[in-house]
Amino acid sequence: MSDLKGHLAVVTGGARGIGFAISQALASRGASIAIFDVLPQAEIEASAARITEGREVEAMGLQVNVIDEASVEAGVEKVRERFGKIDILVNNAGITRDSLIIRMKVEDWEKVLDVNLKGVFICTKVVARHMLKARSGRIVNVASVVGMIGNAGQANYSASKAGVIGFTKTAAREFASRGILVNAVAPGYIDTAMTKAISDEARANALKQTPLGRLGLPEDVAAAVSFLCGPESSFITGHVVPVDGGMAI
Can you tell me the distance from the alpha carbon of 130 to that of 79, in angstroms, rounded to the nearest whole number? 12
Question: Is 185 within 8 Å of 220 (Cβ atoms)?
Answer: no
pLDDT exceeds 80 at position 239: yes
Half-sphere exposure at residue 46, Cβ-oriented, CA atoms within 13 angstroms: 6
Residues involved in catalysis = 157
* pLDDT digit string, tens, across residues 40-74: 999 999 999 999 999 999 999 999 999 999 999 99
Can you tell me the distance from the alpha carbon of 176 to that of 108, in angstroms, rounded to the nearest whole number? 35
Can you tell me the distance from the alpha carbon of 203 to that of 176, in angstroms, rounded to the nearest whole number? 40
pLDDT exceeds 90 at position 119: yes
Average pLDDT over residues 13-18: 98
Beta-strand (E) ranges in the chain? 8-12, 32-37, 59-63, 88-91, 137-142, 180-187, 240-243
**Single pTM value for the model:** 0.97
Cα distances from 65 to residues 8, 72, 112, 146, 173, in angstroms, run 20, 7, 14, 24, 27
The domains found in the chain, sorted by start residue, are 8-242 (3.40.50.720)
Question: Is 217 within 8 Å of 230 (Cβ atoms)?
Answer: no
